[in-house]
Structure 1
Amino acid sequence: MFPEFTLRYARLPERFYERFDPVPVKAPRLVAFNRPLAEELGFDLGAFDEHLAADWFAGNAVPSGAEPLAQAYAGHQFGVFVPRLGDGRAVLLGEVTDHHGRLRDIQLKGAGCTPFSRGADGRAPLGPVLREYLISEAMHALGIPTTRALAAVTTGERVFRRVPEPGAILTRVAASHLRVGTFQYFAARDDVEAIRTLADMAIERHYPHLGELPEGERYLALVEAVQARQAALVARWMGVGFIHGVMNTDNCSIAGETIDYGPCAFMEAHDPRTVFSSIDEGGRYGYGNQPWLAQWNLARLAETLLPLIDEDQDRAVEKATALIQAYTDRYESEWLAVMRAKLGLERQEEGDRELVESLLEAMQAGHADFNLTFRRLGDAVEPGEAEAGLLELFDARDGIEAWLPRWRERLAREDVGPETIAGRMRAVNPLYIPRNHKVEEALAAAAERDDFAPFEALREVLADPFTEQPGREAYARPAPPGEAVFRTFCGT
């Protein structure tokens, strides 16, 4: 059933990983399987056997051609450098080539206590596994670069976090698992040869056009390319109110994908200070800080590549510093492009940034739901009855009422009709996001009652986030009083 594995990472020198076979579990049961993704990856679904699949996705049986390993990496965790982290509970089976010719990693997350586990149990609770499955697939449906969820299995065993919970394993698919922290691991050991190997792998796999550059330019260009993808990625996060929660350097993908969905969540009432993560006590990774923490992470990547950027360290630092400083303008451009689209604007005018900021200020003052505000703006392109649905989102309406005429005046210069503008706004402003209370409801039903119906219903809704789905209005609304979720947990 599995497609043929290639073993690019497994063929690197052994200091890049630790060989590790998944630890078998008691009673694996397949509870979620992403058939469209499996087909894209080249799985033989005609030969699909649920029991055999459960064994494979639990690690009880290793697919033919796989050579399981745990990858080495380091990382800054909440600003503190840890020189040895690595896959403490994840096992890379290998890579496969999908139907688009792209190389994709297949990894089991929660597969046992690896040599990098640092005293942990190497397992994963069901709740966080289902959270990552739901939210990563929702992000994919929203068009935001992300790792994907291929399967989830329960293990028939209990794991102990805050309370005992059912154990589970997630099968994750990624463009790669190369992280800023992977480079930091070898920089901490002054292993320039390994850094060059990683950089060449990243270029070959994710930025092949850079391979044509002279060596003296190639590695600075790699930092620039990663920076471009990170700026675009975080701008997209900001456009849907997504809060990653743990933007450590070991959670920053060289491929430009969203990776490691721990205590992540979606903001409801707009407030740049919003923090959900239970472990982010200082608010380091709050919603409004995300763009600048991405820049900080990119600076850490550039530091690791200094020996390759220029033999003269002072010149290397000068070049890297100039590039990292350029991130600000790049991010601002990406963010403004996202926000223009959300407001139905295609032309670029000088006052657009101020128009966007004025709306966000009105939303914050009125405690208005972030995503529903933009969605209902699309219904209120022209004054009329639909405007009432927008205004009801605001506790205080002075700001939005003053802003609407300015926006409509700006729309009049778009040279297209209101129906066209409304249509393109509905195409980029989701009606359905993973509302935190709905996610928690689905996770609790599965973990406490072995009831996966809420999970499946939510998964189905989130697969089509831009299209109105009659009868599913509750999935579009913010949490009712008493059901709001203010803290999310990592599960490690």
Structure 2
Amino acid sequence: MAFSPQAFSYTPEAAILELGEPFYDRVEAAAFPKTLLRFRNDRWSPAVGLGELSDARWVAHFGRFEPLPDTLREPLALRYHGHQFRVYNPEIGDGRGFLFAQLRDGHGRLLDLGTKGSGQTPHSRFGDGRLTLKGGVREVLATEMLEALGVETSNSFSLIETGEALHRGDEPSPTRSAVLVRLSHSHIRIGTFQRLAYHRDGEAMERLIAYVLRHLYGEEPGTDGAVRLLDHVVSRTAELAARYMAAGFVHGVLNSDNINITGESFDYGPWRFAPSWEPGFTAAYFDHAGLYAFARQPEAIHWDAMQLAVALRTVSEAPPLIEVLERFGPRYQEAIRRAMLWRLGVEPRDSAADTALIEALEAALHETQAPIDRFFFDAFAGRLPDSYPEPFAPLRAALAEYTARKPRDHPYWSDAEPCSMLIDEVEAIWSAIDRDDDWAPFHAKVAAVRRMGAALR
């Protein structure tokens, strides 16, 4: 999340209850054979007043789901629909997770603690409601890396191994199981609005708009709430798309039920970081058409925002919604300039110069297939070494006109290699856990990523 975590007192909330029963189902967490604490986010837990919990109390709350004081008394599985690979699906919802608690941080933001792998719900269909330990490990690594690279993301708050043997058709089975807890600014998805439009429930739609504007954007709904909500979402999702590109990140499954209403990246599955600037690079083995390929992510996220606009037609006229949607492109162009310059470690100049710089960057990276992480490491603060080949000459000349936003004075910049999160290393980290129960590479990687983040901030 964009704000840096700061220690703050425990401030419970239960604002979601304002929405009422049509928005969720009250559920119970699964009873797990074991609760082995594997990761607790000691960077973010103090921000919501939970940093002082003992490991035993942590496991009681985030492995056995004993309620936290004065927030939700029982978990809520939220109801939603969504387009999955552009096909509408009304048969989804929180099928292996739930909203466990709501809290406020030191900035006054309402935050949700949601789960993944916490058991079956009325929306599980034929699923077991569980999460593989590998999936949990991958999500911790993804969220830590994205946060360090300046991407708005949910934060992996807790990972607890649960002692069940899971069978999956797309990976070696049986495999170990886990339950993950996420800290995010919102558990509300575009698909939450799509469900209400599907049922033509205008009254519930107005209630949801008011909830989101009031609690997540600090505004009263007024008479144009739907339009203002869409405007916020267009801005936030354009920023998210740009940050993905600057990070070299491929989410893999940008369905409308995987885009939340505050523009945070979440719900990680087959993600990957692209090793080089290859527009067609895909993360999901089942994305045969490349719908969510690296360079198509802005288009995919824009398409999801369009589905929100379609849903909001339940309570709004079309012309003002269309006008807002047309702002996505210009806002994305502004956002990609900010994101790329931030990762390059230089201050903006003017729109024309910044655009030319980014065009030169993308052209050189694509032509040479130079490693993305290595390039941004070498070029940070506008200093591209002369050892880079000829296609980088226009970029080097353009960078010379820019001012560094911070010097290369952090010890990270003296490392021999940049910190990265490519698939081979992710698999090696998991292999050490799976083969030897060796968590040292995992914890070392989290520490290395946070060190890189400190150098970039």
Q: TM-score when scaled to structure 2?
A: 0.89
Cα RMSD for the two superposed structures: 2.5
Check conservation: 2:383, 2:400, Cα contact below 8 A.
Answer: no
Q: Which of the numbers 209, 223, 226 marks the counterpart of 1:199?
A: 209
Query: Which position in structure 1 is the counterpart of 2:98?
Result: 91
Evaluate the alpha carbon distance shift between residue 214 and residue 51 of structure 1 in structure 2; reply closer, same or farther with a 3 A threshold. closer
| Number of the residue aligned with 1:327 | 328
Quick one: which of 16, 28, 31 aligns to 1:21? 28
Q: SS at the partner of 1:464?
A: helix
Change over 3 Å in CA distance of 1:220–1:122 after alignment to 2: same
Cα distance in 1 between the residues matched to 2:447 and 2:337: 31
Q: Distance in 2 between matches of 1:337 and 1:98?
A: 27
Seen in structure 2, the aligned counterparts of structure 1 residues 449 and 55 have a Cα distance that, compared at 3 Å, is farther
Change in 2 beyond 3 A, CA 1:467/1:136: closer
Deviation at 1:226, TM superposition (A): 0.9
How far the C-alpha of 1:434 sits from its partner, in A, is 2.2
Does structure 1 residue 339 correspond to structure 2 residue 327?
A: no
| Identity between Structure 1 and Structure 2 (%) | 30
Residue 399, structure 1, aligned to residue 430, structure 2? no
Matched, 1:51 2:89: no
In structure 1, C-alpha distance between the alignment counterparts of 2:227 and 2:240, rounded to whole Å: 20
**Mapped contact 1:10–1:94 kept (Cα < 8 A):** no
Q: State whether structure 2 residue 186 is matched by structure 1 residue 176.
A: yes
Name the residue aligned to 1:372: 374
Q: Is the 8 A contact 1:275 1:283 kept in 2?
A: yes
In structure 1, the residue matched to 2:242 is: 235
Q: Determine if the alignment matches structure 1 residue 37 to structure 2 residue 44.
A: yes
Which runs of no fewer than 5 residues in structure 1 stay unpaired? 310-315, 392-396, 470-492
**Residues 99-152 of structure 1: per-residue CA shift (max 9 Å, x gap):** 332211112211111110011000000001111112112222333211111111
* Equivalences for residues 351-366 of structure 1 within 5 A: 351-366=353-368
Kindly provide the amino acid, as one letter, of the partner of residue 187 in structure 2.
H
Report the equivalent of 1:187. Answer: 197
Q: Secondary structure, in 3 states, of the residue corresponding to 1:128?
A: helix
Q: 1:466 to 1:141 in 2, by over 3 A?
A: closer
Query: Partner of 2:126: helix, strand, or coil?
Result: coil
C-alpha separation between the residues in 2 aligned to 1:419 and 1:156? 48
Partners of 2:365 and 2:408 lie apart in 1 by 20
- Identify if the C-alpha distance between structure 1 residues 60 and 222 changes in structure 2 by more than 3 Å, giving closer, same or farther: closer
**Correspondent of 1:259 among 261, 266, 278:** 266
Number of aligned residue pairs: give it. 438
In structure 2, what is the Cα distance between the partners aligned to 1:9 and 1:379? 44
Q: Which residue of 2 aligns with 1:465?
A: 452
User: Matches of residues 289-328 of structure 1 in structure 2 within 5 Å?
Assistant: 289-309=296-316, 316-328=317-329
**Secondary structure of 2:212's match?**
helix
Aligned residue number for residue 165 of structure 1: 175
Q: From the superposition, tell whether residues 431 and 206 of structure 1 become closer, same or farther in structure 2 (CA, over 3 Å).
A: farther
- How far is 1:199 from its partner? 0.7
1 CA distance for matches of 2:360 and 2:400?
19
The structural deviation recorded for 1:11 is 4.2
CA positional deviation for 1:281:
1.7
Cα distance, 1:318 vs structure 2? 2.2
Cα distance change on mapping 1:411 and 1:63 into 2, 3 Å: closer
The letter of the residue matching 1:454 is: P
Find the aligned partners of 1:133 and 1:379 in 2 and give their Cα distance. 29
1:51 shift after superposition: 3.0
Q: 1:50 to 1:340 in 2, by over 3 A?
A: closer
Q: Which amino acid is the alignment partner of residue 55 of structure 2? A: E
Residue 4 (structure 1) shift? 5.7
- Displacement of 1:330: 1.2
Shift of 1:320: 1.6
Partner AA of 1:165 in structure 2: T
Q: Is the 8 A contact 1:139 1:145 kept in 2?
A: yes
The residue number in structure 1 matching 2:386 is: 387
Aligned CA distance change for structure 1 residues 319 and 262 (closer, same or farther; 3 Å): same
Provide Cα deviations, 1:215-247, integer angstroms capped at 9, x if missing partner. Answer: 1x2220110111101111211111110111110
Which amino acid is the alignment partner of residue 227 of structure 1?
V
* Aligned mates of 2:343, 2:254 — CA distance in 1: 25
Rounded to whole Å, the distance in 2 between the matches of 1:85 and 1:31 is: 29
Q: Secondary structure in 2 aligned to 1:105?
A: strand
Deviation at 1:88, TM superposition (A): 0.4
Q: Counterparts of 1:419 and 1:444 in 2: how far apart (Å)? A: 39
Q: Is 2:102–2:110's contact at 8 Å kept on the other side of the alignment?
A: yes
Q: Which moved more, 1:163-172 or 1:136-145?
A: 136-145
Name the structure 2 match of 1:276.
283
Bigger Cα Rg: 1
Tell me, what secondary structure is at the counterpart of 2:43?
A: helix
Q: 2:436 aligns with which of 449, 474, 489?
A: 449
SS at match of 1:376: helix
TM-score normalised by L of structure 1: 0.83
Once the two structures are TM-superposed, the CA of residue 432 in structure 1 deviates from its matched residue by 2.1
Contact 1:231 1:327 in 2 (8 A): yes
1:223 aligns with 2:241: no
Q: Classify the secondary structure of the residue corresponding to 1:184.
A: helix
Alignment deviations for residues 66-110 of structure 1 (CA, whole Å, 9 cap, x no partner)? 321111010000000001311001021120122332211112211
Change (3 A) 1:127 1:189: same
Distance 2:423 2:380 in 1: 24
Post-superposition offset of 1:156: 1.2
Structure 1 position 377, deviation (Å): 2.2
